[in-house]
Structure 1
């Protein structure tokens, strides 16, 4: 597939083609959407892709690339990289006590792991991605520059670098990848921890707030980390917000800390504002669920007349078989009503068919065979109709719960089934 023929024009025009590419080449089907061109407050970079399981957010190529680039190639490279993550980044890492530099390196190594697996499947992807790796051995000896050189070294087998740290990183990664055939995501965290320690001892400059990978097609790697709530500081003229319900996750995900929704330590409270309580909410005892994806949206604050960036947190949860339909703090009467709605939404689906003497649909094959048998002088016993076997089935159920502080005291629940 030629990049300039596959995708032309802006992202809006290319989104449909990218969706076809992801489905046909990778068997993944995230919805492709445009990422806002402006950066609100630094919480999320608007010049790098954002990968989630349900949605792939892509920035404008003119915003993401420092130098003029082929828009079609940029979108295809970004989509292929996202598909590699969705295919092989099957584990979610715990941040634990990792420093920001180590977190960045873990993401770079995970990018290299899934890209190497992708190149084994589609060798032409290497050329797509190498177009955006321009860092060479020259330049300042800073952490971002060394990380960019390591990224290129792990992708480009012909790239030569004389830096000891880059050489060590390439050697360790090649050895670990060969030993595990690239199938173990743990190598990314282990090597990221080790190489981060080495880079920290070199006293090189690193600013986690402004850091982004040089390769513009790569995302921020939020997909590979366990979802953690981001504390949001109160504006000076805000009323103290009540704490939202905390969601406990399945054993393979971290349990959110009780004070997750509180402002970070060291932030002064607004005048007259009572200190936030660290006591758990009375409805914290919920059904264990697996966090499938986390998204943040801005919300209009009519009091201060401005948008609050990433103020709304929406978590997609998947309940395990046998669990309650709704969290434990929801009244059982509400759950009974929801179950009744869901039962009423069941529909009959065709699960098979049988031949019969009477019916609404002709079975042409049976009719032809019947005419052949009649000409051969055989008994006329033709079952020339099709009767569909039907079964009552229910579809998937989505429950949207409004647990925001503004809705406290009056539970809002929307149910959708298909």
Structure 2
């Protein structure tokens, strides 16, 4: 394993000594190397420690690196620097904001660091597959390393990166099973850093049951090219007061049930849907998996700010044509007794009576159900047109859907707001933010505000699931309104027409069920794909984002065909 030396002078080569390399000799190579991979190169600085670490200033690497004799070859030290620099760059590309420590113990923090390392490397290898071979050369853990906690962590780290490595230890197998949704290690079960603590707590509980010792003061992250993960945690004084505690691993006991945080993330419910394959001109049954969740509401302490923010959003005034004529009529379903009495009185007085003595039975407004579906893929993080650049497309879509629901929801109009993104056909993430029976309160607003941009857009599966949910509503008119910034795409499809044709089939299937599907596009460049999917009259692209609320409300209130 790579062991950085404290100074270059102490590492001068001698006969029989392991090969060594200095950071000064690698600077000219690492900058262009990282720019080629990531289109950006973080600043490289010499570390004041024997291991890599990250800071706001950039990546800190040890000044010199020497390798053990069993690792000695001509390019091993050079590969180590490359592995350390690309791993740090992956953190900067796929990482998130630092986490509050809360009540997380040393075991949980160490496991969160390991899982975060595995998460960013998985995402990096999905985009740049050659990085896996670079990193794997330093993952040499095996059952021969032992069953101590640090040894198990090294074995788990290898298992999460190397799909071909099968470790016999049940704890390692459980960690891999919790980390991935599939058996082949292609789809992450926990795509966001903040949710890793729950998984770490479950694994840490098992370590407590095994009574495996851990000395956090002497612990060094392995393999050695990985940084110390100190950047992952906020300083103690910066931790917010309302932090939800995460349980520490418990000592061995009779209860084998792993502890759960005060508010555990909801379990995803899986649904299978077909997908149209235009290349074979047939539908593949049960081809896509939709993972449906209902996000947690904010704690009580966080609802006040959301409630104040949503209260400032003025409701829309969308004109709707009256459903029936009012007042006395020349003909109708029955007599208007008041008008008839007035006509009789006028006749007895010798005046010409008013012939409008009928009335029509008042028809109640037809029951409606509307669902606004928000595309939350990574491209929705871009700036919205018509704003100063501080508002993203997703923020504009969230606010517009909220205002449209406030203007439309009523005793005869049920409304829902959902969001989606995807990472391959086996993981279409579908989030029910505001359901048909929910009130438009601070909880619903908090769930909506928590919808973040990320991943891809497998539109057909999301439309089929939204159609199934909307089809359960007892309403005369049911409308599905998509808010999207672009055409469908996903990581496992390379034909640009494949997902477009599948989404078109999903819209046609919804129409056969009596559901009207409309789309409000946020990017003019996607207009050709939207026309193909929704038809010439089924979509619109506003010139400014501030027109979104009224467009979403009108799309839900308009009659089919309009």
Please give the TM-score of this superposition, normalised by the length of structure 2.
0.36
| Structure index of larger Rg | 2
Please give the TM-score of this superposition, normalised by the length of structure 1.
0.48
